[in-house]
Amino acid sequence: MQRVIVGEIGRPHGVRGLVRLRAFTADPAAIASYGPLTDEAGTRRFAVTPLPDGIARIEGVSDRDQAARLTGVKLYADRDRLPPPEDPEEFFLCDLEGLAAHGEDGSVLGVVRAVEDHGAGPFLVVDGKAGELLLPFTKAVVPVVDVAAGRLTVVPPAEIVVAPQPGEDAA
């Protein structure tokens, strides 16, 4: 089951267990309708009630200390609980996993194993015959995404295609 990050618990707000909530959904109040939400590992469940001004109540959290222990917890929902994107050109990054990556000439480069984002923007991890290929997920590098057809077109930038140097095979 694919899971999508939909929010993050922030610092405590007040002394009664309320928290700041950063919702990554188009409608911040909708985060409660995608529940139950889980942590990244999928082991802890959270029932979230959004309140005005980016504040939320989490079921079972009744004091500031309990709320403080949840600071930074990322909240995930099952992919099938989220509404489909309204625009046919939109998609969730997790929808790219498993798509076939093709070059502009139609050659098969591999399959998207993962989409990762460590703060500088998402990149695709493509497994292919040549090994693992890491590609920035930009319009220049990935000009065509066709989730329905199960494929995307990739134009690898020249600077990431590095030919092996003499003697590197032995390393």
Q: What is the 3-state secondary structure (H, E, C) of 38-72?
A: ECCCCCCEECEEEEHHHEEEECCCCCHHHHHHCCC
What per-residue confidence (pLDDT) applies to 26? 82
Read off the tokens for 98: 């498993």
- The pTM assigned to this predicted structure is 0.70
- Which residues, other chains included, contact 84 with Cβ-Cβ below 8 Å and sequence gap of 6+? none
What are 113-131's pLDDT values in tens digits?
Answer: 999 888 788 999 999 887 8
* pLDDT the model gives residue 11: 97
Helix (H, G, I), strand (E, B) or coil at 97: coil
Provide, rounded to the nearest whole percent, the portion of the chain with pLDDT above 90.
59
Residue 159: per-residue pLDDT: 67
Mind listing the pLDDT tens digit for each residue in 49-60? 999 999 999 999
